[in-house]
Amino acid sequence: MEPTTVIKMPIITEKVTAASEFNQYAFHVDHRATRTDVKKAIEAIYGVTVVAVRTQVRQERDRTYKYGKTLGKTWKRAMVRVADGQKIELF
């Protein structure tokens, strides 16, 4: 897979911003991407050395509207830890 199709967007929340002090960053990734795909994509796009990648398949909560119930979407998140002394400039 191409690096630009693996990484959809960075996730910027308070929790992820606090984790950036420990060289950890979160990204919304394609659901077909593996850990090695994510590692190669981050190294290619941002030019950093990736030490570890953790992935999660997450599901949004179901919602009830006046016309019925809708199921939440599933998406994949990757927590990436980079080498000491390196950082990603978006965060």
The per-residue pLDDT for range 2-30, each reduced to its tens digit, is 989 999 999 999 999 999 999 999 999 99
Q: What is the pLDDT of residues 36-47, one digit of tens each?
A: 999 999 999 999
CB atoms within 10 A of CB 49: 12
Q: pTM here?
A: 0.85
* Tokens describing residue 13: 């929340």
Q: What is the SS3 string spanning 33-75?
A: CCHHHHHHHHHHHHCCCEEEEEEEEEECCCEEECCEEECCCEE
Residue pair 72/61 in contact by the 8 Å Cβ criterion: yes
